Amino acid sequence: MIKLTLAQINPTIGDITGNIRLMRDAALHAREQGAKLIIFPELSLTAYYPADLLDDEEFGRRIETGIGQLRAESAALPELTWVIGAPTTNKGVGKRFHNSLLVLKAGEVMLTYHKQLLPTYNVFDERRHFEPGPDVARVLDIDDVRVGFMICEDGWNDEGTDYLVNPFIRLADAAPDFVVSINASPSNIGRRELRHDVFRKASARHGLPIVYVNQVGGHDQLVYDGASFVVDPARGVVFEAKRFVSDNATLVFDGRQTFFGLDGRSLEPIGDAGLPSCEFYRKQIVLGLRDYARRCGFSAAVVGSSGGIDSALTLALAVEALGSENVVAITMPSEYSSSGSVTDSERLCANLKIDLYTHPIRELVEVYKLQFEKATGHEMAGLPLENLQARIRGTILMEYSNRFGHLLLTTGNKSELSVGYCTLYGDTNGGLGVLGDLYKTEVFALSRHINASAGREIIPPAIIEKPPSAELAPGQKDTDSLPPYDVLDEVLKILIEGERLARAERERAERQMALLLDSEEGQALVTRVKRMIARNEYKRRQSPPILRVRSRAFGSGRQMPIAARYT
């Protein structure tokens, strides 16, 4: 029998000193619980993923020093065995580092295991910096319990479809009592359920209990949900740590494939159902925004409030992440703004209890028009005039950000970013895109969900119900330039995410696509959308990072050339 602690921490990339502090605090808590084994996530020393920091010689020296400090910390708690993740130097040919798991006990390194399967797809690029480890199993006896070890991707190939090597087979041959898997698995809709499915099947197939420990927290575009878990070969997932927060959970392994709670209670199987999609989006975005702001040194945010649905939802999420006292809105009416754009902003900000500043742009637009015409002899009109208004607003927001030190949040959604329905250096200005991985239809759904879960009006119904409009020209509506969003979004899902969609969502989108392709008009619409996606890659490349919530997000998860022919 052994007591073990799943230390689901929220480390900061590169903050080795701070991360060691988190690990020490978790270890002290584990000792108080009587644990003999504490397990930290993948690359817990540096956090995942340090990327080209690993090319910096000084950073490499800091890693070595950090490993030494962790050995000293383990020496101060000699009764506790630590499982940590860290880059270690590759002594042979190839990349400079291994992605490694180290087992520390009383100041000594008892075992080292190097990750074998290095992902280079979607948001991952580990082969850029790491050399794969050898195809060997690593096991260690800890308090009369034989423990096997693996790292994240090593556990995802048990059906042999992605790599020639399957580390689970080697581990099964070594006959451990249970397997420890340390992970940094980014979160997206449906990912938690997929983890459970993959590791439940592997556990049953090999008769191996699995302890899966994951990182939590927001790191640039990626958000990690934690949700560490334990799998029983016969009963499936029997324990799950908290989602979207740090959590230290201590369990008891009885030595016979069974885990118990610290109080001796039996652990019951956990159902597959996760959070409803809107609640998942909400928690993922709030954690991602909060950590991004904190780690970049921002305590407050500013948002341009147009009276539309995107800025309203962005403000609501910002308030939840940062607090109403740390969020400011600015409304910037022009001659084309409806009266509701200001009054709806006022009502929204009153509901959220945040300050709203009014900064009209009509006079600024007139001055720009006049000076342009004087300089070039040509009138400023049409699309250039529309974009000018967006760029003036973007400048005002950046002025406020510079003056008061607020993080400027962009409000564009995935539908708009996909087809370029945004103005470069205008409404794309900012430090972080909060809604950039939500389709427009999901923006509406999440707004309604926020109101429903609050049991009161947060986002005014007038904002949710009004037809979307950029209000850059008389009577302008989004549908003047784009297909209806309920049609556009289904097309975009197929073209951008395709097979990565969950089955039900993919089938729904495929039905919509089939209906369109059944007519010449629909075929023309699909072709037009394809061209818009391709033509606007340059805008997305210059836009702020966005918080990833879906299986394939713009940014590191979708890398497309700008200067290319797509049709």
pLDDT in tens, 227-262: 999 999 999 999 999 999 999 999 999 877 789 898
pLDDT at 266 over 90: no
- Give the Cα-Cα-Cα angle 182, 188, 192 (nearest 5 degrees): 55
Residue 472 has pLDDT above 80, yes or no: no
CA distance linking residue 31 with residue 282, whole number of Å? 35
pLDDT at 470 over 70: no
| 300 to 83, 105, 306, 312: CA distances (angstroms) | 37, 43, 19, 17
User: What pLDDT score was predicted for residue 254?
Assistant: 87
Model confidence at 567, pLDDT cuts 50, 70, 90, reads low
Residues labelled as active-site residues: 42, 115, 152
User: CA-CA distances (angstroms) from residue 463 to 76, 309, 421, 474?
Assistant: 58, 6, 20, 19
**Res 539: pLDDT:** 96
| Mean per-residue pLDDT, 195-223 | 96
Element at 502 (helix H, strand E): none
Average pLDDT of the segment spanning 391-420: 97
What pLDDT does 211 receive?
A: 98
What is the structure's pLDDT at 18?
Answer: 98
Average pLDDT over residues 402-412: 97
Identity of the amino acid at 99: N
Query: What are the angstrom distances between the C-alpha of 457 and each of 305, 310, 316, 347, 452?
Result: 17, 16, 11, 10, 8
Cβ atoms of 210 and 72 within 8 Å: the answer is no
Q: Share the mean pLDDT of the chain.
A: 94
Higher pLDDT, 442 or 336: 442
Tell me what pLDDT residue 466 has: 86
CA distances from 345 to 302, 329, 348, 351, 436 (A): 14, 9, 5, 10, 21
Q: Which tens digit of pLDDT belongs to each residue from 507-534? A: 999 999 999 999 999 999 999 999 999 9
Banded model confidence at residue 274, pLDDT cuts 50, 70, 90: confident
Domains, in order of start, for the chain: 2-266 (3.60.110.10), 279-403+436-475 (3.40.50.620)
Do residues 137 and 167 touch, judged by C-beta distance below 8 A?
yes
The predicted structure's pLDDT at residue 473: 64
Banded model confidence at residue 481, pLDDT cuts 50, 70, 90? confident
Residue-wise pLDDT tens digits, 48-74:
999 999 999 999 999 999 999 999 999
Angle, alpha carbons 60-62-67 (nearest 5°): 100
b/e string for 115-144 if b means 16 or more Cβ within 10 A? Answer: bbbbbeebbbbbeebbbbbeeebbbbebee
Residue 231: predicted pLDDT? 97
User: How far apart, in whole angstroms, are the C-alpha atoms of residue 148 and residue 169?
Assistant: 12
Per-residue pLDDT band for 566 (boundaries 50, 70, 90) equals confident
Average pLDDT over residues 126-155: 96
Nearest to 407 by CA among 301, 289, 316: 301
- How large is the average pLDDT for residues 22-51? 97
AA identity, residue 6: L
* Confidence category of residue 468, pLDDT binned at 50, 70, 90: confident
- Is a pLDDT exceeding 90 seen at residue 389? yes
Least confident interval from 15-29, 267-281, 329-343, 462-476: 462-476
Contact 212, 181 (CB under 8 A): yes
Helix, strand, coil share of the chain (percent; to 5): 45, 20, 40
> Could you report the per-residue pLDDT of 159-204, keeping only the tens digit for each?
889 999 999 999 999 999 999 999 999 999 999 999 999 999 999 9
Q: What is the pLDDT of residue 493?
A: 97
pLDDT digits (tens, 9 = 90+) for 367-386: 999 999 999 999 999 999 99
Nearest residue to 549 via CA among 506, 503, 500: 500
Average pLDDT value for residue range 199-224: 97
Element (H, E) at 10: none
Cβ pair 37, 3 in contact under 8 A: yes
pLDDT band at residue 482, thresholds of 50, 70 and 90? confident
- Given a cut of 70, whether residue 475 has pLDDT beyond it is no
pLDDT cut 90: percent of the chain above it? 89
